[in-house]
A and B are shown apart, each in its own frame.
Chain A
Amino acid sequence: NAGVTQTPKFQVLKTGQSMTLQCAQDMNHNSMYWYRQDPGMGLRLIYYSASEGTTDKGEVPNGYNVSRLNKREFSLRLESAAPSQTSVYFCATPGPAGTEAFFGQGTRLTVV
């Protein structure tokens, strides 16, 4: 989707490895979010950032850390990946009207 770019799109990790998921938005909003999607569970909020320099835990923060590098970028880090973190990860920011969320294309992560 135009406006929110996630990298990488696919990743396979071994248990215990670390990695950082990158997200950048050009919609000039202060807020950014990280969700994970699992079958039968919808999307669940991991972390969010209301503005540059601030971050807060969401519903499922354990095993993750985040960095709000500047207004555009919000990264998600897995320090020691576990199979339970196999999921699809979405970054989002408010849409043009400021009410809905606008999502990136997702990162499909498999931890073996």
Chain B
Amino acid sequence: AQSVTQLGSHVSVSEGALVLLRCNYSSSVPPYLFWYVQYPNQGLQLLLKYTSAATLVKGINGFEAEFKKSETSFHLTKPSAHMSDAAEYFCAVRPYNQGGKLIFGQGTELSVKP
């Protein structure tokens, strides 16, 4: 069965510092990959997605992620953290031929210190 692993349930950075949230997936065939953000008491919002086009994917709010097939990774980065980036982030994979279901990682809570 496919799985998604997010390293670090909680990450804390200072405002202006680099944000790096790690995601690894298990799949023999590159699937669709996603990053979602969830602000407190809200639903999930799509940040960005990889669908086998460019390996470096740019999303909203200055975030980007790089698909690395050799490392089965899809890490999320942002050059300079802002206080408003504090939220929970989920990596997800959509396996092929499984009806569009998503498999989620455990989530990483990002804190941003002033």
Residues of A with Cβ closer than 8 Å to B? 1, 31, 33, 35, 40-45, 48, 50, 56, 58, 90, 92, 94-95, 97, 99-106, 108
Indicate whether B9 reaches chain A with its CB closer than 8 angstroms. Answer: yes
Please classify how large the interface on chain B is, using the bins under 10, 10 to 19, 20 to 34, 35 or more: 20 to 34
Contacts of A33 on B, CB cut-off 8 Å? 100-102
List 10 tightest A-B contacts by C-beta distance, closest first. Answer: A42-B104, A43-B104, A105-B43, A103-B43, A103-B44, A42-B106, A31-B100, A42-B107, A50-B99, A100-B46
Partner of B49, one of A35, A99, A103: A99
Residue of B nearest to A10 (CB): B41
CB-defined interface of B1-34 with A at 8 Å, one 1/0 digit per residue?
0001010010000000000000000000000101
5 A-B residue pairs with CB within 8 Å? A31-B100, A42-B104, A43-B92, A45-B102, A101-B100
Contacts of B101 on A, CB cut-off 8 Å? 33, 45, 48, 58
Indicate whether B84 reaches chain A with its CB closer than 8 angstroms. Answer: no
Contacts of A40 on B, CB cut-off 8 Å? 9, 106-107
**Alpha-carbon distance between A92 and B92 when the two chains are bound, in angstroms:** 14
Known: A92-B102, A94-B100, A99-B94. 9 other contacts (CB 8 A): A31-B99, A42-B106, A43-B44, A43-B104, A99-B32, A99-B51, A100-B32, A100-B46, A103-B43
**Alpha-carbon distance between A7 and B13 when the two chains are bound, in angstroms:** 36
Is the beta-carbon distance between B102 and A43 smaller than 8 angstroms? yes
Partner of A90, one of B34, B41, B43, B105: B43
**Alpha-carbon distance between A105 and B43 when the two chains are bound, in angstroms:** 4
Contacts of A108 on B, CB cut-off 8 Å? 41
| Known A-B contacts A42-B106, A99-B32; A48 and B99 likewise in contact (beta carbons under 8 Å) | yes
Indicate whether B61 reaches chain A with its CB closer than 8 angstroms. Answer: no
B74 CB to nearest chain A CB (Å): 14
Indicate whether B70 reaches chain A with its CB closer than 8 angstroms. Answer: no
